A and B are shown apart, each in its own frame.
Chain A
C-alpha cells in the first residue's frame, strides 16, 4: 500500500485558504482506530498551517516542528469525530513560519495553539514538490478520501527509574520502520514531533498519578503544554531517554518539566501544566 498522504496525514479537506494568511480545514477521525491522542490534534493543526505556508512559497519550502507555546488541551477527541481545525499565520517567510490555531469538534474547541514556530526547510529534501501541489489542489477541491489513518503505531515506553511523585524517567525506542515514515516524510523519514509530544504527555500523566491530589479534587489533569522546543530531527531506530520532573505544585496547579535526550544530548523539552480535575 502507498502510505504517502495516508499513514500520517490529518487534513482531509481545505475548506478555505488565503496562502500565507489563514486556512480552515477538516479531518474525519477514522471510527475504527483505538484512540486519537490530543497530540495528533495539534499535528492536524500544524499540518494545516504547513499547507498554507507551502502554498505561499510555491511549495519550495515547508515548516517543520520547532517551537510551541502554549497549547491549551481543552477536550478529548474520539474516533469517528470530525475535527475542524483553523489556523492564522503570523509570519511565513523563508526562514520560519509562525502561526496560531484551534481545532473544534461540533463547534466546541478541543485545542488551542497560541504561538507555534516552524523553521522552514527545502521541500525537496522531504517530499516531491509537485506531489504536494497536486495534493493541495485535491484538498482544496473535492477533498481526500477519509479513513486512511490506521492509528498510532505501538510505542513502548519503558520506565527506567524515578522518585515517586517527583521524577519519572523512561526509555523509548523509535521504531525502525512503520507506515508513518513513508508519509512523514517520503524522502526523509522523521519521527513526528507530535508523537514525541504524545509520549511526553503520557509520561507527565504517569507522574501526575503519583502526585498527591490537590484539595477539593480527586486528581490532576493535563491542562496545557508550553515551551515546547524540538532541537533536532529524530530518525527511525534511535533511542531516546525521557524524563518528567515536578518543578512546582500548589493547590491550583502543578508544573512538570519534560526533557528528551538522545545519547545524553538534550533534543527536546516542554512544560506541562496540570490542573485539578474539573477545574479550568
Chain B
C-alpha cells in the first residue's frame, strides 16, 4: 500500500514543474531529472541542494513543506525508538520505509540502513509525492483521482 494513495496521474501532473524546479536548483538540464533519478547518486545533489529544492518547490507550488516531515510520515505509527536505534533503521523501520518510498526499488535499501543515508534513497518522484501531499493538506489542486499506484 502506498503512502496516502498518491496516484500516477497526480504524480505526472506535478512532475514537469518539479523537474524544472529541481533542474534550476541543481544547475542541470531538465532532461536529466527523470522521475526515478536519485537526487544524490544520479543528480549529484548535496545537502545545500536539498534545502534549495525544498524552498523552490514551496514557492513554485505555493505550499509549505514542514522540515523533517518526510521521516515522521515514513515512521507512521512506529515510535522513534521502534524506527531506529543508534542511528540505524530497524527492520520494522526499513519495511515501513519501503512502503512509504514505494517509488524506490527495494534493492536500494541497504542493510544496515543508517538514518543519515535515508536521503540517498530520495528520487524525483519522492519530491513529487511530497508536493502532492502538501497540496492535499492545504486544499490545493491536484490531478483527478484515479486508480492508486
Contact = CB atoms under 8 A, between A and B. Distances in A.
A45 B72 CA distance: 34
Given A67-B55, A93-B67, A96-B67, A231 B27 contact: no
Interface string A174-215: 000000000000000000000000000000000000000000
B100 to A, nearest CB: 20
Q: Kindly name the residue among B46, B48, B67, B68 whose own CB sees the greatest number of chain A CB atoms within 10 A.
A: B48
A231 B51 CA distance: 11
Contacts of B10: none
A272 B51 CA distance: 22
Interface size band for A: 10 to 19
A66 interface: yes
Interface residues of B, number: 10
Interface string B48-68: 100110010001000000011
Contacts of B79: none
- Secondary structure of the B side of the interface? helix
Nearest to A67: B52
A117 interface: yes
Given A67-B55, A98-B55, A269-B27, A119 B48 contact: yes
Given A94-B67, A95-B51, A95-B67, 20 more contacts: A66-B48, A66-B51, A67-B48, A67-B52, A67-B55, A96-B51, A96-B55, A98-B55, A115-B55, A117-B51, A117-B55, A119-B47, A119-B48, A119-B51, A227-B27, A229-B48, A229-B52, A230-B48, A231-B46, A269-B27
Interface of A: 66-67, 93-96, 98, 115, 117, 119, 227, 229-231, 269
Interface of B: 27, 46-48, 51-52, 55, 59, 67-68
7 contacts: A67-B51, A93-B67, A96-B51, A119-B48, A119-B51, A227-B27, A229-B48
